[in-house]
Structure 1
Amino acid sequence: MRIAFLMASQGVEQVELTDPWSALVDAGHEPVLISTKPGRVQAFHHLDKADTFPVDAVVGQVQAESFDGLVLPGGVANPDFLRMDERAVSFVRSFFQQGRPVAAICHAPWTLVEADVVRGRTLTSWPSLRTDIRNAGGTWVDEQVRFDQGPNKLITSRRPDDLKAFDEAILTEFPGRGG
C-alpha cells in the first residue's frame, strides 16, 4: 500500500517521521514523502536541527486518490507551516472526503483543525492543542493512542513516547498489510 507522509519543508520532529516510516516499510508498505517544496525536508530533534530527508513529491502535484492512507508527523513548527499552505490543507481534507485513513501525532492535529475535519471526532494530541480541538468541534482525550472510526479511520497519538502504540495502530488500521 502507498502511504503519504505530509510535511512542511522544515520543522518536522524527526522520530515522528522515521519511526512510523520504518514500521510501514518493514510491513511491506510504500511510504512517500510529500512536502510543500521540492528538495529536502529539514527535520528536528525538538528545537535542534537533525537530518534532512529527500522529498518524493510536492503537494499540489499529487492527489489523495494515489494513496491508501496519510500520516501526519508532528513537531511544533511543521503543522503550523502546513496550516498556512492551502494546498496542504486541501490535500489533508481530501483524505477525509474520500474516507481514507489518516494518522496524526503530537502537534499534527493542528493541520486537521485547519482542514475543518475534527468536528464530531474524538482525538488526542500534544496537550496544548486541546482547546483548539475543542473549539473546532472535536473531543480531546488524554490517551496514548486514539482510534476514531467516523466516516474514515482517524488515529491520533500525543507525543514521541507514544510512537510504539501509534505505529501498531497504523499497521492495524491502514488497509492491507503491505501489499
Structure 2
Amino acid sequence: MAGQLSGRKVAVLAADGVERVELVQPRQALEEAGAQVELVSTHGGQIQSMNGDIDKGDRFDVDREVSRVGAGDYDALVVPGGTINPDQLRVNQDAVGFVRDFVQADKPVAAICHGPWILVEADVVRGRTVTSYPSVRTDLTNAGGTVVDQEVVTDQGMTTSRNPDDLPAFCERIVDEFAGA
C-alpha cells in the first residue's frame, strides 16, 4: 500500500462525537498509503471523539473548517460515524454541500456506520447500493438507496460499511478506490 496514494489529498469530514476508531483507522491507512489527509470540521480548534456513545475518546486538531474548503481542494472524502458526529454534520449546510459537491464532481466518497446519514441529507444515495449501521438503513431506503448487509459496498464511487468491525475491509477498499480515482 505504501505510496499508492502519493500526491492525493483526502478530506476526513468529522465533528464532535465522531467514533474515535472510525476516524483513526481510515486516516492511518490513507496516510500509510501516501495520502495527505486533512481533518475538516464544522468549527476550528479541536473535535471530541467518542468510544461508543458514552465514553469520551481523544481530541483531534481540526485542519480546516468546512465553510472554508470545497470539493475542488481534495481528491476524495471520508465520513466516519458515531451517532453524534453525522447528526452534527447533517444540520450544517456547509457540510451537506461539501458532500454533495464531491458526489456531483464524481470524486470518491466513503462513509462508515452512521456516517451515511449525511449522504441521505445531501440527497446522493438515490440509485446506489449502500450499507450502514442497522438504525440508518430505513433512512437510506427512504432516500432511494438499495440497502444490503455486507461489510463493505462500493457503487458509483461511493463506498459504505456497517460498523467498526468492518474497518479492515473498509480501509483496504477506500485505499484501492481512492488510488483508482
Q: Calculate the TM-score normalised by the size of structure 1.
A: 0.95
* 1:14 is aligned to 2:25: no
SS state at 1:37 partner: coil
Contact 1:109 1:125 in 2 (8 A): yes
State the match for 2:50 in structure 1. Answer: 44
Letter in 1 for 2:76: G
Contact 1:133 1:140 in 2 (8 A): yes
State the match for 1:34 in structure 2. Answer: 40
Q: Identity across aligned pairs (percent)?
A: 56
RMSD of the alignment, in Å? 1.0
Separation of aligned partners in 2, 1:130 and 1:88: 21
The runs of 4+ residues in structure 1 deviating greater than 2 Å are: none
Separation of aligned partners in 2, 1:3 and 1:137: 27
Letter in 2 for 1:85: N
State the match for 1:74 in structure 2. Answer: 81
Contact 1:6 1:72 in 2 (8 A): yes
Q: Per-residue deviation at 1:7?
A: 1.0
Separation of aligned partners in 2, 1:14 and 1:34: 15
Contact 1:36 1:58 in 2 (8 A): yes
Separation of aligned partners in 1, 2:33 and 2:178: 11
Q: Per-residue deviation at 1:175?
A: 3.1
* 1:110 is aligned to 2:117: yes
State the match for 2:162 in structure 1. Answer: 158
State the match for 2:144 in structure 1. Answer: 137
Contact 1:68 1:175 in 2 (8 A): no
SS state at 1:174 partner: helix
Letter in 2 for 1:174: F
SS state at 1:175 partner: helix
* 1:175 is aligned to 2:141: no
State the match for 2:71 in structure 1. Answer: 64
Structure 2: gaps (5+ residues): 1-7
Letter in 2 for 1:63: G
SS state at 1:119 partner: coil
Letter in 1 for 2:115: A
Separation of aligned partners in 2, 1:17 and 1:62: 19
Letter in 2 for 1:7: A
State the match for 1:90 in structure 2. Answer: 97
Structure 1: gaps (5+ residues): none
| Cα deviation 1:67-112 (Å, max 9, x = unaligned) | 0000000000000110100010000000011000000000000000
